[in-house]
Amino acid sequence: FLTSDIGISGSNFLLADSGSSCTVTNEGNAELTITPPKVHIVTAGIEKLVPSMAHAVPLLRLLTRSATGGEITQYITFHNGPKRPNDADGPEECHIVLVDNGRTKMLADGMEEMLRCIRCGACMNHCVVYKHIGGHAYGSVYPGPMGSVLTPHLDSLKVANKQTHACTLNGRCEEVCPVNIPLPKLLRALRAESWQKKYEPLTNRYVVKAYAQLAKRPRMFQFVSSCGVVFMKLFSRQGWIKSMPFTGGWTRNRDLIEPESKTFMQQYKASKKAKSSGGR
């Protein structure tokens, strides 16, 4: 850090009226990147621009509280360009690079709500999918619910359409989002677009169509579900399934948990019958 000629940093917020760049860290690494080098280069998405300090402060409060639950993080620094003649330290040059990279297309595609994201991570903390598979499974810089919406626009939906399915649409991410991004709605829209453009594998399309037919016939659905439970138990060892036909993509990296002996409907009917008998 101390001998570098150029330091490159991101920015949590850019203040339009003063040209200041705000960084938020817990380790102070941003300050080491920015202060000692002679040249400071800021790269930030166009959505990081806010009108003034008065607009940045409420967002900073939301960011730290939603990310860690604390009042404030360890380092919140506003960088105001090159050092002045009497300043003890700071860069001699400062350059700000505004990055689009699909962001204006998000505006055109009706995904402008995603640009409100302040990268607090609250959606990931409450995501049941992220909790079980972790961040690396998403295969991109941005994991979790926000990444499942953002990455298809940064990398293209054709490349990242699988991420849009890493969601149960339970809505917990939307409930905790401090800037009220309707993540489930945006994910559904991306899934619909992916389906319409035929980015989904042909096998997936057939499976969905078959499921749609089953879902219309409750008795057949329950019968197939029961058969599925029996089939999965054939491959279970000590409560876990390490390998099974048609699940190579999953069991290659992790084990499947053994299913319950009865389906939900079987358990529900048994419970209902028991309550009815007890009432008599």
pLDDT tens-place string over residues 67-124: 888 888 888 999 998 998 888 888 999 999 999 988 999 999 889 999 999 999 999 9
Q: What is the mean pLDDT of each run of 10 residues along the chain (280 residues)?
A: 88 94 88 90 95 94 88 87 88 94 90 93 93 86 93 90 91 95 95 91 86 90 88 88 81 81 85 77
Which domain does 271 fall in, by range? 211-275
User: Does any domain span residue 16?
Assistant: yes
SS3 sequence, 233-278?
Answer: HCCEECCEECCCCCCHHHHCCCCEECCCCCCHHHHHHHHHHHHHHH
User: Does any domain span residue 1?
Assistant: no
Report the CATH number that the domain containing residue 60 is assigned in CATH: 3.40.50.10420
Distance CA 62, CA 192 (A): 32
pLDDT of 26 reads 85
User: Does any domain span residue 206?
Assistant: no
Give the predicted TM-score (pTM) of the model. 0.76
Distance CA 94, CA 80 (A): 9
Give 241-251 pLDDT, tens digit per residue: 888 887 777 77
Number of domains the chain contains: 3
Same domain, 117 and 164: yes
User: Does any domain span residue 177?
Assistant: yes
pLDDT of 167 reads 92
Same domain, 49 and 77: yes
Q: Which residues contact 115 (CB under 8 A, 6 or more apart)?
A: 47, 103, 106, 107
